[in-house]
């Protein structure tokens, strides 16, 4: 039996990925689920092992990486993060579509696996609009905003590469973008949508 293809959403910080995912999960809770990632960072207050992350030691995670147990992994702020094949398969076994929110490097890595992911790039309408969104958040320093914009420019350039993504959704108007995303996902699993 073929498993349901995982769906990868990728795009710059501020592109609206999280907003689109939240809307999708709220409307179709029986259709979609996130895989639970592994990390070497300590749990924050209120976070639970197996719900928010699988919290493991650096030694354990390094061993798992060596054993090719991750479809993608990266290091941020001296902590390792990764998406394991087991976590994706757990979602697939539940009959739901596994949603992955990963960066450009993660997309490159997951495309090398046999998971056959549907990769969708969520693109802001322009770098100028993206900059405005980042500033409107009022959560980042000027340095962080400039760093995010530089990364976003690289991600947007990469998205133009033939075969990098299966689809690109330009997120200018949230509701229009959401309907387009939903239309793409119905093609992946129309059965799931009919269950709602």
> What residues are labeled active site?
44, 137, 148
CA-CA-CA-CA dihedral for 160, 97, 181, 14, to nearest 10: -70
Helix and strand totals (H; E) in the chain: 8, 9
Q: How far apart are CA 116 and CA 65, in angstroms?
A: 20
List C-alpha distances in Å: 1 to 9, 92, 150, 180: 25, 12, 43, 29
Find the radius of gyration of the CA atoms of the chain: 17
Sign of CA pseudo-dihedral 137, 140, 145, 149: negative
Q: Cβ neighbours of residue 129 under 8 Å, at least 6 residues apart? A: 172
């Amino acid at each position: 039996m073929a498993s349901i293809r995982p769906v990868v959403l990728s795009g710059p910080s501020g592109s609206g990925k999280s907003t689109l995912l939240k809307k999708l999960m709220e409307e179709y809770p029986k259709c979609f689920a996130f895989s639970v990632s592994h990390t070497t960072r300590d749990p924050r207050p209120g976070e639970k092992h197996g719900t928010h992350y699988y919290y493991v030691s650096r030694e354990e995670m390094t061993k798992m990486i060596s054993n090719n147990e991750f479809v993608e992994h990266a290091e941020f702020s001296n902590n390792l993060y990764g998406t394991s094949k087991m976590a994706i398969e757990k979602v697939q076994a539940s009959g739901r579509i596994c949603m992955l929110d990963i960066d450009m490097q993660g997309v490159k890595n997951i495309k090398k696996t046999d998971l056959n992911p549907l990769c969708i790039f969520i693109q802001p309408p322009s770098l100028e609009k993206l900059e405005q969104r980042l500033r409107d958040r009022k959560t980042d320093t000027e340095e962080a905003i400039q760093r995010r914009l530089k990364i976003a420019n690289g991600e947007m350039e990469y998205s133009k590469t033939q075969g990098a993504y299966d689809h690109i959704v330009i997120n200018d108007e949230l509701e229009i973008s959401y309907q387009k995303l939903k239309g793409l996902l119905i093609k992946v699993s129309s059965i799931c949508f009919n269950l709602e």
